[in-house]
Amino acid sequence: MTSTATRTAAGLTPGRRPASQLALGLLVAAGILGVSCLLSLAVGTKYVPPVDVWNALVDPGNSYADTVIASRIPRTLLGLLVGAALAVAGGIMQGLTRNPLADPGLFGVNTGAAAAIVTAAALGWGGATSVWVALPGAFAAVVVVYLVGSGRGPAMPVRLVLAGVVVSALLTAYIQSVTLSLPAVFDAYRFWVIGSLAGRNPHLIVEVLPFIVVGLVLALALSGSLNALALGDDTALALGAHVGRTRLLGAVATTLLCAAATAAVGPISFVGLAVPHIVRSVTGADHRWLLPYCVVVGPALLLTADIVGRILVSPAELMVGVVTAFIGGPILVLAVRRMRASA
């Protein structure tokens, strides 16, 4: 029985694809991501042929095309980082709560970052949309959620979810009261809250990179423990997993990833919810494969949404947060229908 439980915890169910097929699929996903990066550099107000994009990357000169490509590189890099961070955060959150519809913002990360932005703007601080303003707010919200969800006992998934809902509701009410009372704060806040890769300072990449790298490394290190946790706390303990430590470190990794991504580009919905569902249809429930796939598929989806937003209303563009909502909505409906069918 223990052997069967161990294999199930690792995602080694009889229907799981062989490792060779999963490795090949990961390479294919990486190739799709490469195409997305190429198109992200090529598509915009001025279209640059992919051949010129490649030449500009390999042997940059002083041509106009080279200048255009150079201006789009920070946006593409930011999309890579944010897409990977949100997708992996979603995979961890769904594993921690054992809820396939869990979202990275469930711990109040998005509302915490937004509350910090609003507070900074209300106090008249310069650089109110700085990542160093949003990050502390996101971390503070998660700490409150974890403390409330823990109570006098261990942090349980249901209590954490309920605590996240309560804290998010309170912070949302605070944000609305401040922005409706102070028009100047609303003006500073509304450009950040939609979520966009456009117009961001290239220095943001350097600022959020350490947080995202640490979060990704921590998430990948927890993949085996998340497999055990999926079987329930009692079974995970029997298999030798440290449930409390896994849940705490998972919350830390989720906060690092989601807070850095949200602080950099604003809240972007559905990436963390949709990507794990897309990946799980290929990898199954094994987090040892699910999380690496999320690292690749997340940026591909986000960059594709960004490209679509540039094309639909060209020469203007739709913010990527709007496009991901349109993409993620149908995926959420399909996920719910799939859950009902398997119930």
Whether residue 98 is contained in a domain is answered as yes
Whether residue 46 is contained in a domain is answered as no
pLDDT for res 5: 43
What does the DSSP assignment read for 284-317? TT-HHHHHHHHHHHHHHHHHHHHHHHHHHTTTS-
Q: Residue 181 corresponds to which tokens in the numbers above? A: 């009372």
Q: Is 61 left (phi over 0), alpha (psi -120 to 50) or beta?
A: beta
d(C-alpha 118, C-alpha 111), whole Å: 10
List b or e across 187-219, with b for residues whose CB sees 16 or more CB atoms inside 10 angstroms: ebbeebbbbbbeebeeebbebbeebbbebbebb
d(C-alpha 299, C-alpha 79), whole Å: 6
Residue numbers of the domain that contains 121: 18-37+76-342
Q: Computed from CA positions of residues 292, 80, 92, 147, in that sequence, does the dihedral angle turn out positive or negative? A: positive
CATH number at residue 258: 1.10.3470.10
Whether residue 71 is contained in a domain is answered as no
Whether residue 56 is contained in a domain is answered as no
Closest C-alpha among 63, 103, 163, 9 to residue 324:
103
Q: How far is CA 149 from the centre of its chain?
A: 22
Against a cut of 0.85, is the pTM above it? yes
SS3 at position 202: coil
d(C-alpha 201, C-alpha 173), whole Å: 29
Whether residue 125 is contained in a domain is answered as yes
Place of tokens 């609303």: 186
Whether residue 1 is contained in a domain is answered as no
Digit-by-digit pLDDT tens for the chain (343 residues) are: 444 444 444 433 434 678 889 999 999 999 999 999 999 999 988 888 888 888 888 877 767 778 888 889 999 999 999 999 999 999 998 888 887 777 877 788 888 988 988 898 888 875 545 678 888 888 899 889 888 877 665 556 678 788 888 999 999 999 999 999 988 888 878 777 778 888 788 888 998 999 999 999 999 999 988 988 888 777 777 777 788 888 889 988 998 998 889 888 888 888 998 899 889 888 988 999 999 999 999 999 999 999 999 998 878 888 888 898 887 777 777 766 766 655 5
Tally of structural domains, the chain: 1
Whether residue 24 is contained in a domain is answered as yes
Whether residue 97 is contained in a domain is answered as yes
Place of tokens 């990449």: 205
Per the CB < 8 A criterion, the answer to whether 267 and 95 are in contact is no
N-to-C CA span, the chain = 25
The DSSP call for residue 101 is: T
